[in-house]
C-alpha cells in the first residue's frame, strides 16, 4: 500500500491512557534513507507507547529498524541520507519532532540518554574515565563538579554506584585499561548521571560474555528501581526481554507488528512472526535431541524485494489473499494488545 493509501487507514490509537501514565507515545513514524539505490523505508509507520517507570523491549531481526528507531527518538538520524518524513514522537506531552535544534539538545543527555552497543567506540580513548565522567556531570549541570578534586569525588561516586571495584584507582584509567563489561558500566554511569526520565539501551550487552551480561542487566534493573527511569531495551535476545521488560514491541521491516505486555507476548503471541520467534527459543526440559530448533522459513525482504501487502506474507504460514494485496493497519484484539495482521481485523 502506498503512503497515501496508508493514510486512509484509520489507525487505532496506540495510547489507551489519557492521563500521565505514558512517558513516550510514537505514532505513525516514518524514517527513510534516500540512497542512490532508492528509498530505504527503515521505519514505515511505527506506533508504540512507553509507560512511565517501565522497561519496553524492542525486538526483531537484524535490519528491522531498531537502531534507526532509537536514533529517531533522539533526532540523531544522519541527514543526508536519512530523514524523518512523517509521524510524531510525544515525550512528556511534547512532540520532539517540532522542537528546535536547541530544545532537542536540552532533551538529549538531560531527559533522554542513550547507551550504545559498543562502549569502546563511545568512550574517548585519550581521556581518563574520571575526566569523561566529570565532563558529563558538568555539562548537564545537575551536580556541579566544581574544582578538580570535587570532580574526581563525583566520578568516584558514580563508578561506585555501577559496581566498579576500587573506583579511586579506576578514575585514573583510560578506556583501553578496562574490560568490555567495565566500559559498559561506565557508559551506564554516564547515561544515568543526569538522572534522565528515559534511557535508551541499544543492545547494551551484545558484546559481553553471558556472566557479565547478567551482571549488567541486573545493575540496570536495580538502578531503574532506584531512580524511576524508564528504559527502552533494544535487543534481539528474547531471554533478555523476559528478564527485564514489562512491555514488548516486536519489529519487522520497519513496522511494529505486535505490541503488548511481556506475559501476553510470551504466553499468547498473536502475530505469525512473533509466534515464529517464540518457537525458535530452546526451552529447558523439552526433548530436543534429534529435533531441529524451529527457524522461520525464508529471509527478511530488503527494500528492493519488499513484497506488496504485508511484508511478512512471503514467510507467513497463515497467509491469506488480502495479505498479498494490502498492508495491515494496527488492530487491537485486546485493549492493551496491538497487532498488525489481517487475521485480527474486526
The binding site for Mg ion (CB under 5 A) comprises 66-67
Least distance from C-beta 285 to ligand ATP, angstroms?
Answer: 29
Q: 40 touches which of Mg ion, ligand ATP, none (CB within 5 to 8 A by kind)? A: ligand ATP
Contact residues: ligand ATP, CB under 6 A: 33, 35, 40, 42, 60, 62-68, 78, 81-82, 236
Q: 343 touches which of ligand ATP, Mg ion, none (CB within 5 to 8 A by kind)? A: none
As a whole number of angstroms, the distance between CA 214 and CA 14 comes to: 32
User: Which residue's CB is nearer to ligand ATP, number 67 or number 274?
Assistant: 67
Query: Which residue sits closest to Mg ion, CB atoms considered?
Result: 67
User: Which residue's CB is nearer to ligand ATP, number 16 or number 302?
Assistant: 302
Helices (H), 45-147: 66-73, 101-107, 119-122, 129-140
Q: 121 touches which of ligand ATP, Mg ion, none (CB within 5 to 8 A by kind)? A: none
Least distance from C-beta 65 to ligand ATP, angstroms?
Answer: 4
Least distance from C-beta 304 to ligand ATP, angstroms?
Answer: 11
Q: How many CB atoms lie within 10 A of CB 15?
A: 16
User: Which residue's CB is nearer to ligand ATP, number 86 or number 140?
Assistant: 86
Check if the beta carbon of residue 175 is closer than 8 Å to that of residue 183: yes
Can you point out the beta strands (E) in the chain? 22-35, 38-51, 55-59, 82-91, 94-95, 112-115, 198-202, 230-234, 247-252, 255-261, 331-334, 337-339
Q: 239 touches which of Mg ion, ligand ATP, none (CB within 5 to 8 A by kind)? A: none
User: Which residue's CB is nearer to ligand ATP, number 63 or number 333?
Assistant: 63
In 3D, which of 56, 18, 27, 46 has the Cα closest to residue 261?
56
Q: 312 touches which of ligand ATP, Mg ion, none (CB within 5 to 8 A by kind)? A: none
Least distance from C-beta 226 to Mg ion, angstroms?
Answer: 28
Show Cβ contacts of residue 247 under 8 Å, excluding neighbours closer than 6 positions.
49, 50, 51, 54, 55, 56, 57, 259, 260, 261, 262
Report DSSP state, residue 20.
S
φ, ψ (nearest 5 deg) of residue 138: -65, -45
User: Which residue's CB is nearer to ligand ATP, number 34 or number 294?
Assistant: 34
User: Which residue's CB is nearer to Mg ion, number 67 or number 274?
Assistant: 67
- CA 169 to chain CA centroid, Å, is 33
Amino acid at each position: 500500500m502506498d503512503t497515501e493509501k496508508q493514510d486512509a487507514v484509520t489507525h487505532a490509537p496506540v495510547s489507551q491512557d489519557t492521563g500521565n501514565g505514558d512517558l513516550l507515545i510514537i505514532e505513525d513514524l516514518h524514517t527513510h534513507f534516500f540512497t542512490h539505490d532508492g528509498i530505504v523505508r527503515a521505519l514505515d509507520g511505527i506506533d508504540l507507547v512507553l509507560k512511565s517507570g517501565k522497561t519496553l523491549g524492542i525486538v526483531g531481526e537484524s535490519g528491522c529498524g531498531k537502531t534507526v528507531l532509537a536514533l529517531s527518538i533522539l533526532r540523531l538520524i544522519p541527514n543526508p541520507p536519512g530523514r524523518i518524513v512523517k509521524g510524531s514522537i510525544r515525550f512528556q506531552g511534547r512532540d520532539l519532532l517540532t522542537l528546535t535544534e536547541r530544545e532537542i539538545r536540552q532533551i538529549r543527555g538531560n531527559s533522554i540518554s542513550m547507551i550504545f552497543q559498543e562502549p569502546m567506540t563511545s568512550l574517548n580513548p585519550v581521556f581518563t574515565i574520571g575526566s569523561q565522567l566529570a565532563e558529563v556531570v558538568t555539562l548537564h549541570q545537575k551536580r556541579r563538579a566544581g574544582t578538580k578534586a570535587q570532580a574526581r569525588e563525583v566520578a568516584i561516586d558514580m563508578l561506585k554506584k555501577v559496581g566498579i571495584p576500587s573506583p579511586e584507582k579506576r578514575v585514573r584509567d583510560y578506556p583501553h585499561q578496562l574490560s568490555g563489561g567495565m566500559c559498559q558500566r561506565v557508559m551506564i554511569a554516564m547515561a544515568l548521571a543526569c538522572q534522565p526520565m528515559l534511557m535508551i539501551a541499544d543492545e547494551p550487552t551484545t558484546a559481553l560474555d553471558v556472566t557479565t551480561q547478567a551482571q549488567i542487566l541486573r545493575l540496570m534493573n536495580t538502578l531503574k528501581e532506584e531512580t524511576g527511569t524508564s528504559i527502552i531495551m533494544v535487543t534481539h535476545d528474547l531471554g533478555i526481554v523476559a528478564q527485564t521488560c514489562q512491555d514488548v514491541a516486536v519489529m519487522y521491516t520497519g513496522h511494529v507488528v505486535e505490541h503488548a505486555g511481556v506475559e501476553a507476548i510470551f504466553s499468547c503471541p498473536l502475530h505469525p512472526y512473533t509466534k515464529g520467534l517464540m518457537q525458535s527459543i530452546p526451552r529447558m526440559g523439552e526433548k530436543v535431541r534429534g529435533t531441529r530448533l524451529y527457524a522461520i522459513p525464508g529471509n527478511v525482504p530488503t527494500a528492493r524485494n519488499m513484497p506488496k501487502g504485508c511484508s511478512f506474507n512471503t514467510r507467513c504460514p497463515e497467509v491469506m489473499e488480502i495479505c498479498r494485496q494490502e498492508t495491515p493497519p494496527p488492530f487491537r484484539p485486546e485493549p492493551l494488545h496491538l497487532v498488525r495482521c489481517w487475521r485480527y481485523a474486526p
